[in-house]
Amino acid sequence: MITLGKDEIAKYPFLADAGQYLKDKGFTLQQFGIDPVLKIPLEKAFDRVQVSADGKIYKSDLIDGEASDIALENEVFSFLLAIVLLKLTGITTLIKRFALAEARRAEKYLEKDLANITDDSKKELAIKIIDDLFSIQVKKQDDFFIIPISNYLEHSINFHEREWKLVNRRVKNGSVFLTPHETVRLIRKELSNYISSKIFNAKMPSMISGFEEPVKKLNSLSKKFVTYTVTNGEYPPCIKHAIEILEKGENLPHSGRFMLATFLLSRNQSIEQIAPLFKNAPDYNERVTLYQLNHLAGTSGSGTQYSCPSCEKLKTQNLCFAIPECNNILNPLQFGKKRK
Amino acid sequence: MQEKEIKFVEEAFKNYYFNHFDLIHVPERTSEREFGFQKFNSGMIRHISLKDDKELHLLLMQNKPSDVYCSNGYYSFPNLQMSEKEWKEADLIFDIDAKDLELSCRQNHCVTKCVECSHISKSSNHCSKCNSTKIEVKSLPCKNCIEESKKEVEKLKNILIEDLGVEKNSIQIYFSGNEGFHVYVYNSQFQELGSRERSELVDYLMFRGTIPETFGMKKLRPSRQLFPEINEEGWRGRFSKEVFGSKSKRSKIISELINEGYSNFQRKLEILSKTVGAQIDPNVTMDIHRIFRLPGSLNSKSGLSKVKCNDLKQFDPYNDSSFLNEETIELIANCPVEFKLKKRKFGPYSNEKITVPTYAAVYMICKKLAVLS
């Protein structure tokens, strides 16, 4: 367990034991609903959730991580109360957005602590948080932080920006070299998962007097999350290419057949509709094709339904033939879908 | 392959396995591996678990397999079906195949066999007799194929050691038994990585997915200082050695690159991946459940063995991996390409009756270019 100072709890409130913290400070949740002074952190808590719902990061009162004791306490209270509000509202999307925004907020402090050259204890704490929470062993070398390639990959594969690809990184002797900023950016997703799982696993409180109003407001706030999508039905170029190859009677590699079949299955085509596409393949065998399609659809074998590979994977397999309309999609299934 | 030929090849394979038990061993941590095998003209039998060499040798004698495989993965229950195996980790494996290297020699030693009319002709994308596009391409790889594949193995090995920090003695190289090499990396930090992470390693090794910024090029106002130096490590270093050549040319070439602009730079990187990247089969390395040809076993595409290459430079697959016997047999061969085995030249043959040693007969039968007379 990491021991935290006052200002550190304010920077990384998700590391605190919420119930214990309130008890130590001599408060109960009920007091926050009625006491006019304690209403301030409740308002702050609402603010914190609202800002995150808009995809922004809550600006805290901590300046360079330092502030008065009361400001520090309010900072922690508002985080804990935000969790109570989210639990009472019960909307997953709100929780996820909050967790992400809080992760990004903490990221700023972690980065600052990592880069701290005057106070080694701050740097060590940041390194310890990263190691304890996400099992990444960070070492300092000159101006860089180095981490084992395997650790790096486990986190970086969640990023779609090319700059995060290993090939675009400085790599030597089994390690990746990162700046403080990149080091903490690497764990954003995990940090937000960590925060959201803490919220999901927290005990469900019953409604507290004085909390009804903010909960109601958050409920109506989340209505705007609903969007509609339409599909124009056209196939992406990778799928068109695969169909062309098969129509010509040429050999489509196994990975290409997998892509085509899983794509069409996801577009709700039946096995009977898909099977004839493979008829021209040089090694066509009806029995094998039907068996394999059934397997992919999950109607036979282990029952797992296979999904269409991502664009990134298809690129690796030389099956991607991207055109401008492919911009910003991560999976062929998203091709031609527009948000309304 | 017809019944008669299958019987002949099976017998030759069985003889090899019987006489060369010393070459065929189960890998370490045997009981955590999945084994599988194939018989001629038949499907794959897998989810087999074995205890030791003895059990493996028994399997070989009883089943007369055409091909034998062993998983790169380690499981709690290797004999159960995939979803119940409980995957633990997997060795990092690589397949380098001459057919993926786009070599110009290939057209000289590839043979086209039509699936519909069985006509055999020299390399083409359709049958020269009936025009069908349903064809099988059989390659009889030449010395150049092997030398070029060796270069790729060396390239791969260097990046593995220098960049990925793999210990030299945890790398093992095998001739695949047909057209290329298999490389294994044991006990590395990558053992527990999943398929997606391994695909990132693949892109690294193949120099794919690079962006110009990594090498100092920017869309707006590129700065000369950001371009790599000749003596840098990793890909920036390899890039500068390849593109600049020497320190004295660096400045001039940077000016040219900046003048040519960002998208030309991007294109250049893509072309470079073919020359500086290691040409490996991405699907093999990404696969953490693969059953990969067992070292020491025979390859049914050629009748040659998958043997370990202790001295890659000196290794000659057509001598060092041909272990079938010398006993002669009569064949009708239709093999338009000359080949060399055990320092002896064979072919070309044009639908003629010949008498050759078993190892050469099996080679042609496996390539579907000969039948027993």
pLDDT tens readout for residues A258-305: 999 999 998 888 888 888 888 877 777 888 888 889 889 888 777 788
DSSP B268-299: HHHHHHHHHS----HHHHH-SS-EEEPTTPBP
Q: Answer yes or no: do A54 and A13 share one domain.
A: yes
Please tell me whether residues B295 and B271 are part of one structural domain.
no
Same domain, residue pair A42 and A63: yes
User: Are residue A204 and residue A329 in the same domain, yes or no?
Assistant: no
Q: Does B203 sit within 8 Å of A166, measured CB to CB? A: yes
Instruction: Judge whether residue B121 has pLDDT over 90.
Output: no
Q: Is residue A311 in a domain?
A: yes
Say what the pLDDT of residue A339 is. Answer: 54
Quick one: average pLDDT of B25-35?
95
Residue A225 lies in a domain: no
Give the pLDDT of residue A267.
Answer: 87
Domain that holds residue B260: 207-276
Q: Round to whole Å and give the CA distance between A4 and A20.
A: 14
CATH number at residue B312: 3.90.920.10
CB < 8 Å to A304, chain B: 83
How close, in Å, is residue A246 to chain B by CA atoms? 11
- Catalytic sites of B, residue numbers: 95, 97, 281
Q: Do A150 and B193 touch (CB under 8 A)?
A: yes
At residue B341 the predicted structure's pLDDT band, cuts being 50, 70 and 90, is: very high
Contact residues on chain A for B136, CB-CB shorter than 8 A? 282
**Same domain? B183 vs B289:** yes
In this prediction, residue A28 has a pLDDT band, given cuts at 50, 70 and 90, of confident
The burial of A204, by beta-carbon neighbours within 10 Å (0-12 exposed, 13-18 middle, 19 or more buried), is given as exposed
Taking the C-alpha atoms of residue B93 and residue B285, their distance in angstroms, rounded to an integer, is: 5
Q: Give the mutation candidate from B113, B134, B162, B229 for the A interface (greatest A CB count, under 10 A).
A: B134
Whole-angstrom distance, CA of residue B294 vs CA of residue B88: 20
pLDDT tens digits along A152-195: 999 998 888 889 999 999 999 999 999 989 998 888 888 888 99
- pLDDT at position B199 is 94
Same domain, B7 and B91: yes
Residue A232 falls inside a structural domain: no
Is B332 a residue whose pLDDT tops 60? yes
Neighbours of A265 (CB within 10 A): 21
- Which token pair is B128? 């020269």
- For a pLDDT cut of 90, what percent of chain A falls above it? 25
Residues B15, B91: one domain?
yes
pLDDT band at A340 (very low <50, low <70, confident <90, very high): very low
The C-alpha atoms of residue B227 and residue B212 are separated, in whole angstroms, by 10
pLDDT at position B240 is 95
Domain count across chain B: 2
- Nearest chain A residue to B198 by CA distance is A153
Contact at CB, A172 and B197, closer than 8 angstroms: no
The verdict on B192 and B288 lying in the same domain is yes
Contact residues on chain A for B124, CB-CB shorter than 8 A: none
Task: Give residue-wise pLDDT tens across range B178-207.
Answer: 999 999 999 999 999 999 999 999 999 999
Give pLDDT, residue A288. 85
pLDDT of amino acid B202: 96
Measure CA A42 to chain center.
27
A150: in domain: yes
A155 and A271 together in one domain: no
Over residues A62-67, mean pLDDT = 59
pLDDT (tens digit per residue) in A87-129: 999 888 889 999 999 999 998 888 888 888 788 888 888 888 8
Q: Is the pLDDT of residue A227 over 80?
A: no
Residue A227 lies in a domain: no
Residues B180, B211: one domain?
A: no
Q: Same domain for B51 and B186?
A: yes
**pLDDT at residue B165 is higher than 50:** yes
Judge whether residue B236 has pLDDT over 50. Answer: yes
Please list every residue in chain B whose beta carbon sits closer than 8 Å to the beta carbon of residue A316.
199, 202-203, 208, 282, 286
For position A45, what pLDDT does the model report?
A: 92
> Is residue B124 in a domain?
no
Which residue from A149, A167, A170 is facing B209, i.e. has the nearest CB? A167
| A67-76, B44-53, B355-364: least confidently modelled range | A67-76
Least confident of A64-73, A195-204, B175-184: A64-73
Please indicate, yes or no, whether residues A208 and A108 belong to a single structural domain of this protein.
yes
Whether B128 is in a domain gets the answer no
Please determine, for residue A46, whether its predicted confidence score (pLDDT) is greater than 50: yes
More confident residue, B307 or A338: B307
d(CA B189, CA B172): 16
Q: Residue B145 domain-assigned?
A: no
So what's the pLDDT on residue A122? Answer: 84
A65 pLDDT above the threshold of 60: no
pLDDT the model gives residue B260: 94
User: CA gyration radius for chain A?
Assistant: 25
Which residues in chain A touch residue B165, judged by CB atoms under 8 angstroms apart?
A: 149, 172-175
Q: Is the pLDDT of residue B327 over 90?
A: yes
Reference B194, options B284, B287, B280, B283; nearest CA is B287
Residues B33 and B91 grouped into a single domain: yes
Determine the structural domain holding residue A67 and report its residue range: 6-133+198-220
Whether residue B36 is contained in a domain is answered as: yes
Q: Which one is predicted more confidently, A220 or B298?
A: B298
Domain match, B13 and B89 both:
yes
Percent of chain B with pLDDT over 90: 83
Residue in chain A nearest B82 by alpha carbon = A302
Virtual torsion, Cα A243, A244, A246, A249, nearest 10 deg: 170
Q: Judge whether A211 lies within some domain.
A: yes
Q: Percent of chain B scored above 70 by pLDDT?
A: 100
Please check whether residue B334 is in contact with residue B363, taking contact to mean a CB–CB distance below 8 angstroms. no
**A285 in the same domain as A203:** no
Same domain for B292 and B238: no
Alpha-carbon gap, residue B278 to B154, rounded angstroms? 9
- Least CB-CB distance to A282: which of B134, B197, B203? B134
* pLDDT tens per residue across span B147-157: 999 999 999 99
Q: Are residues A96 and A142 in the same domain?
A: no
**Residue A163 shares a structural domain with residue A254:** no
Buried b (16+ CB within 10 A) or exposed e, A92-110: eebbbbbbbbbbbbbbebb
Residues B212 and B319 in one domain: no
pLDDT grade for B233, boundaries at 50, 70 and 90: very high
| B9 and B90 together in one domain | yes
Average pLDDT score, chain B: 94
Residue A215 lies in a domain: yes
Are A128 and A141 within one domain?
no
Do residues A168 and A274 both lie within one domain?
no
- Residues of A engaging B, defined by a Cβ cutoff of 8 Å: 148-150, 153-154, 156-157, 162-163, 165-168, 170-175, 248-250, 254-255, 282, 302, 304, 312-313, 315-317
Q: pLDDT tier at A1 (50, 70, 90 boundaries)?
A: low
Mean predicted confidence (pLDDT) in A245-262: 86
What pLDDT is recorded for position A226?
A: 65
Contact flag A172-B233 (C-beta cutoff 8 Å): yes
Residue A229 has what pLDDT?
A: 55
Contact B233 A313 (CB under 8 A): no
Chain A residues inside the 8 Å CB shell of B115: 282
Nearest to A174 among B81, B189, B235 (CB): B189
Interface test with B, best of A166, A167, A291 (most B CBs within 10 A): A167
Residue A300 lies in a domain: yes
Q: Are A149 and A203 part of one and the same domain? A: no
What is the residue-averaged pLDDT of chain A?
A: 85
Q: Does residue A17 share a domain with residue A116? A: yes
**pLDDT band per the 50, 70, 90 thresholds, residue A29:** confident
> How many domains does the structure of chain A reveal?
3
pLDDT at B241 over 90: yes
**pLDDT value for A230:** 60
